[in-house]
Every structure is written in structure tokens, then in C-alpha cells.
Structure 1
Amino acid sequence: MIKVAVVGTGNISPSHIRAYQALRDRCTIVALCDLNPAKAEALQQELGLDEATVYASHPEVIARGDIDLVSVCTPPSTHEAISIDFLEAGVNVLCEKPMAPSLAACDAILAAEGRGGAIFSSVAQNRYRDDVVRLKSAIDSGLAGAVSHVAVDSAWWRGLPYYDLWWRGTWEQEGGGCTLNHAVHHVDLLLWLLGAPESVTAVLTNAAHENAEIEDLSVAVLAYQRALATITSSVVHHGEQQRIVVQGREASVSLDGEVVAEVTQSNGFPLPGGNTGLVAQLTDLAAGLDPLPHTGHQGQIDDVLTALETGRRPAIDGHDGRRTIELITAIYQAGIERRTVDLPLTADDPYYQPGTLTERAPRFFAKTASVRDQSGPISVSGATAPANQEDNR
């Protein structure tokens, strides 16, 4: 039985806890940790974690000496130190997004993984979605042809009070705005679907949140050898209509399942009706895939548990998390310096180091409030969820 600790009992922790509870025949949660123990105790009671002991600091959890796996669900600025402490103690780590605020911090985590002999997995739970798997299968099949363009809309909406929470809305504590903390999942998916680009250009702004330093809207253009991708990162989009649309030479496929395949006439204009046969092939391919046995956080946690049980690497590891941070860092660098940034970023690049982004980033507005906790229902894409069930975006 794998013994699990959860460090940080904020918004995202119930997603981890419920996933572990759904796999209770393989693991058990024995420790909850939060700087505010009363908060952890309330969650313990709410979710029926009778076997878990509450701690006020993560070194106390490490001192138990019997933890096999820890979920790190704390604010982004703390991920590096907490992950390294557990890894060096030989404890396996599943760390919420973003992996860390800088590439240097990501590499420090990977180095600690190597020293401690434990494994590190960076949360990217959206890879465990049936619609995402169908989209990747369509691209990998080659039926749509060589990719020419990918449009990614990470479209969210947040009101002014969202940035009143103490760690949100500042470059130092949150590490960035919507590009880092909301679009991180879409960036990971783009890299999974298409690989890394050769260069990036970007524009950043704060369009609607006068109580936050950071950007609430960015648009990035990624250049591949013969393709472009665009990423819109936003917390100003009403309706939160998120999408990924892949344009191939022969057909386009979308995350929502739409398939379009044009056929040329002799003059180069599209033939009405398009390639119905290819549309049918791609539609049948998607329909023929078996549903995932576990989705979202439960899907990734199932994989991490299997990795521990079998001695293999997890499907999503720290190198995946680092690649996502590298691309997001390049987007910030391009937007701040108003120039094209080539990838990969090297260790002598100023933005590789911690502190450079915080030092050079624009302060669009001053943060005007700082509350320790927020109450009230949490809603995602128009659907209201019970409190504390949303991602920690």
C-alpha cells in the first residue's frame, strides 16, 4: 500500500485527494499539511480522511519517514523548495502546475530527483481527457497531413476579487499571470501534440484587472519549420470558450471533434462538400478509440502509482514540466523585450535564472488587496462547482 501525503490544502487539493480515494485499493492518504492547520483539519473532516494526520509544515511530514508519495498543492513560488526537500529525502513527488517559476528552479528539481533516487511528476492532467487523446490520435495518424497551423485559445474569465488572494496578482508570488497559471495546461498540450517551436514572439497586457501587477491577456505566435501556432492566454474572455484547432494539409481537426477536409478545384478554390471520405476516416478513428479508464487527475495519479508499483518512469515527468516552463518563459521574454526569442533557452540566458522575470516584467497596476482566504462557490466554464474543487488557477 502506497502511503501518500498532501501538502497544501487549497483549491486544487481535493482533486488530488478524491483521485487517491478512488484508487484506495492501492494507496492511502496518511498526512495532510498546511501552514494553516485548521484549514487542513476542515478538509480532513469534509473528505473523511480519518487515517490522515495534520501537520503545519512539510519538514514534519518528511520526519515521519514513511511517506512514499507526496502531492505538492501549494502556491507556485514554493514548488521548488518543497519538491527538493521531499526528493532529497527519497520521497516521490507529484507537483501541481506550474512546475516552478524559472528554468533554473526546474533544473534544481531535476537534479534533486537524480540525487534522491525518487521520481518527480509534473501535473498535466488534461492529457488524460478523451477529447485530447482523440485529437492526438488524429494528428499522429497522419490522415490530416502535415500540420500548418494550430490555434490554441486558453480562454478564461475572472473578476477583480480573484486577484485579492494574497499570492495572486504579483510577479514575485504567482510567478506570472494567465500565461503561466491558466494557459500552462494548453501549453503542455501543444507541446505534446506538436513538439517545441523554433522561436516565439508575443504581446502582453492587463486589460481588465486594475488590482493586479501581472498580465491578464497575452497572444503568442510560435514558429515551427513550416508551421505556425498561436496561443491566446486570457482571464478576460466571457463564456470561457476554450479550443484547440489543428490545420493539416489535408484536413483540420478540433478538440471539440469537428473535422473539415477541403478538396481543390482546378482553379485552386475549394470544391463544395469537401473530402467526405477523409472526414469519415478521421471521424471513425476517433469513434473507435476506447474511453480512458481514468481521466483528469485520477488518470495521472493512476499512472504515477503504476510507475511506483512497476519501477518505470511516469508518463509525465519533470522534463515535460520543464519544457512547458521553457516555452512560457520565452513567451514572457518575447513580450517584455518586444522581440523574437529563439528556442531552446540556454543557461546563460538571463531569463533562465530566477529573479530576472520578476525584475524586468512590467507592473501593469499595483496589487491593491491581500486576503489570506476566499470563500464562496467556484465556477469553471460556466458550471458552478463545490468550493475548493477548482484548479488553483
Structure 2
Amino acid sequence: MAYRHAPGYRDDERCEIVACADLVEENRDAFAEEFNIDDEGVFEDYNQMLRDADPDIVSICTPVPTHAPIVMDCIQSGVLDAIHCEKPMATTWGDARLMAQEAGRRNVQLTFNHQRRFHPDWREPKQYVDEGEIGELQRLEVACGELLDNGTHFIDLANFYNDERATDWVIGGIDYRNEHLKYGAHNENHGMAMWEYENGVHGLITTGFGEEAVPATNRIIGTDGVIEVHPSGASGYRIRRAGESEWDVHNPETGYESSIAAGINHIVDCLENGAEPELSARRALDVTEIIFGAWESVRKRGRVEFPLRIDDNPLEEMVESGALSPTPADN
């Protein structure tokens, strides 16, 4: 992902890539060569990079369990104006809350890379929703491989379509029979969760590779129509309004990487004008609360009311306690 973030900075005339850090020498040297970073800007230790390079913005593109400690070190360094971190936020709800809290307390702009908000496939449907093309919003459905890794994107989009409304409760169920670690974090094999927003709109997510019950990555259901984004694995989106028998199909021709660059351009804009970024930690927390709340629902075997009052990761704790015993993955 570092190779996808970097062009966003390189191609923004307001930015200059001055340093990078990586524990692996060949990795940091290759990255530095690719993006023309001088030798004095290449570091093994990111704390040393912060001290010596004195950057304004950093992107954190590391495995999920390292997000919280690196973000906290960056916030507490007193050097940075902004931090742009890969998703998902963290492996525990407590760490996710702490990062957002401390960034706010120290006036550091903290964002997370939910870049799909800036891709036309997902962004254009929001305009149709806002213009009432499908009537009053009723339900938002999501389908993806895993709740934490993939789901963070598509739940974020559900929140986006519902104008960032607060969530009142969530209820979930999962199957975790085979160990599935992705970027260092546990993810269920197959799952389902439902939640309700304060305005009465409901969200539904189904997960599992090849087992998703929702026929699109995002399905937006209103009183007078339906929008499906990436229906049945296809690109683009389609709309079917009430009374119509055929889908109105749209296929914007924009690459995936362009949405990452657009997100970085947006966070630089917000750093300049003081506006809250669409990718803000506050909004990422709303997504993360639904994810950990769904797993907490599995642990407590009941509906979970928000605010979520835990600190740990319920899925990890259930594995550690033996409540779930996934077959270890082959190394």
C-alpha cells in the first residue's frame, strides 16, 4: 500500500516525499529509489525518521497490529500535523478509541484510508440517494470477504450513504472454524450482522468468500428503488427505480489507485482549510464500533447497544479463551 499512497503525494504539487522508514533494508531502499528519496531520508527506525526528517504528514502502511503503537508514537512525537493510516484502525476497540482521542487532544489530523468514498463506482450512487432517485432510504446491505479487513470499507460506505448517522445497536453471528489471519489480524470465515441507525435505517452485512448473501458489495434500498454497487462481482453500479423492469447501468472508467490519490488530495486540502476530512478518525470509529460490536454480540450472545463498552477484541479473546477453536492455518 505504500506504493499506492506515495503517488498521491508525489503528484500533488503541495507535497514532497522527503523520507521513508522500513525495518527491511532492501524494502526501504527499493521504495526510496522508486520515489527519488535521498539517502539521508531513508531510515530503519520511524522514530528517528520523525526526529531527523521533521515531516508534516506521514502515511502508515504496516500490518494491522502495528497501527496503534505507530500512530500513538507519531501523535506523541509533537512533529506531525497529519497522519494517514491504512485500514482497519486497530485490532482492539480500546486502541481505536485511544488513537482518535489523542489525535484530537493534540490537534493532529488523523485519517484512515477508506478511499472507496472517492471512487465514482461508490461516490456517484450517493448523489442519486441525495436527489431522491430511490425515494426514502430504508436499508443498506453489504457483502464482502471479512468483517474487519474488507468490511471496514463497505460499512464505511453504508455510513456515507446514510449521512454518517449514529448507530444504536448491532447483532451478529459468525463461523470461525479455520484460522484466518489477514495482515496479522483474526477474521471470521463466514458471518452476518445487522444494525440500526438512529433514523431507523437498517444495515446488513454478510461475509465469507463465495458465501455472501447480498448480491453486491453495497446495496442501497429505498422506498422507490434500489442501487447495487458492483453487482454480482461486476464493476460499476446499477439503478432500478420503482416501476422499472430494467436496470440503468453505469460504468465509470476510473482506476482503483486514483481513489487513493483523491483521498490524499482531500486530506491535504483539509489540512490547509481546517475542515474535517471525510476519512476522519471519528468516522472510522463509527465503522469500527459496528465491527467490534458485532463480534461482541457473538461473545455475549445477544444484541449490543451502543456506545460499545469494551476495550478488547472479542474475536481474539474468544480464540484465546478457547470459546472458538479454529483449526490452525498451515505455515
Q: Which amino acid aligns with 2:84?
A: L
Residue 179 of structure 1 aligns with which residue?
A: 147
1:30 aligns to 2:10 (yes or no): no
Call closer, same or farther: CA 1:342–1:67 in 2, change over 3 Å. same
Call closer, same or farther: CA 1:364–1:197 in 2, change over 3 Å. same
Instruction: Tell me the percent identity.
Output: 21
Higher relative contact order (Cα pairs below 8 Å, separated by 6+ residues): 1
Contact 1:211-1:368 at 8 Å conserved across structures: no
Alpha-carbon distance in 1 for matches of 2:187, 2:126: 32
- The runs of 5 or more residues in structure 2 that have no matched partner are 230-235
Contact 1:202-1:334 at 8 Å conserved across structures: yes
Q: Which amino acid aligns with 2:239?
A: V
TM-score for both structures, normalised by structure 1:
0.70
Contact 2:60-2:67 at 8 Å conserved across structures: yes
Alpha-carbon distance in 2 for matches of 1:329, 1:338: 14
1:261 aligns to 2:241 (yes or no): yes
Q: How does 1:94-109 map to 2 (within 5 A)?
A: 94-109=84-99
Q: Which amino acid aligns with 2:325?
A: R
Over residues 39-66 of structure 1, what are the superposed CA-to-partner deviations in whole Å (9 max), with x where a residue is unaligned? Answer: 2112333x24233622112111121152
Call closer, same or farther: CA 1:107–1:305 in 2, change over 3 Å. same
Residue 159 of structure 1 aligns with which residue?
A: none
Over residues 335-367 of structure 1, what are the superposed CA-to-partner deviations in whole Å (9 max), with x where a residue is unaligned? Answer: 23332112232xxx2xx2136543234232224
Residue 360 of structure 1 aligns with which residue?
A: 318
Alpha-carbon distance in 1 for matches of 2:211, 2:29: 36
1:60 to 48, 60, 68: 48
User: C-alpha root-mean-square deviation of aligned residues, in Å?
Assistant: 3.0
Call closer, same or farther: CA 1:21–1:190 in 2, change over 3 Å. same
Residue 302 of structure 1 aligns with which residue?
A: 265
Call closer, same or farther: CA 1:311–1:340 in 2, change over 3 Å. closer
Alpha-carbon distance in 2 for matches of 1:84, 1:254: 38
Over residues 118-140 of structure 1, what are the superposed CA-to-partner deviations in whole Å (9 max), with x where a residue is unaligned? Answer: 21112110000112121111111
Max radius of gyration: which structure?
Answer: 1
Q: Which amino acid aligns with 1:325?
A: T
Residue 170 of structure 1 aligns with which residue?
A: none
Contact 1:100-1:106 at 8 Å conserved across structures: yes
Over residues 120-177 of structure 1, what are the superposed CA-to-partner deviations in whole Å (9 max), with x where a residue is unaligned? Answer: 11211000011212111111122312222222111x4xxxxxxxxxxxxxxxxxxxxx
Contact 1:150-1:228 at 8 Å conserved across structures: yes
Q: Which amino acid aligns with 2:102?
A: A
Contact 2:50-2:79 at 8 Å conserved across structures: no
Q: How does 1:10-29 map to 2 (within 5 A)?
A: 12-23=1-12, 25-29=13-17
Call closer, same or farther: CA 1:251–1:95 in 2, change over 3 Å. same
1:339 aligns to 2:302 (yes or no): yes
- The runs of 5 or more residues in structure 1 that have no matched partner are 1-11, 157-177, 264-272, 370-393
For these two proteins, the number of residue pairs brought into alignment is: 308
Contact 1:148-1:248 at 8 Å conserved across structures: yes
Alpha-carbon distance in 1 for matches of 2:24, 2:143: 36
Residue 293 of structure 2 aligns with which residue?
A: 330
1:199 aligns to 2:189 (yes or no): no
Alpha-carbon distance in 1 for matches of 2:193, 2:105: 36
2:135 to 136, 145, 154: 145
Contact 2:19-2:37 at 8 Å conserved across structures: no
Contact 2:292-2:313 at 8 Å conserved across structures: no
Contact 2:17-2:35 at 8 Å conserved across structures: no
Instruction: Name the SS of the counterpart of 1:142 in structure 2.
Output: coil
Over residues 205-231 of structure 1, what are the superposed CA-to-partner deviations in whole Å (9 max), with x where a residue is unaligned? Answer: 136x45756412211122345443321
1:49 aligns to 2:36 (yes or no): yes
Contact 2:171-2:294 at 8 Å conserved across structures: yes
Contact 2:147-2:291 at 8 Å conserved across structures: yes
Residue 325 of structure 1 and its aligned partner are, at CA, apart by 0.9
Q: Which amino acid aligns with 1:200?
A: V
Alpha-carbon distance in 2 for matches of 1:48, 1:26: 16
Call closer, same or farther: CA 1:28–1:150 in 2, change over 3 Å. same
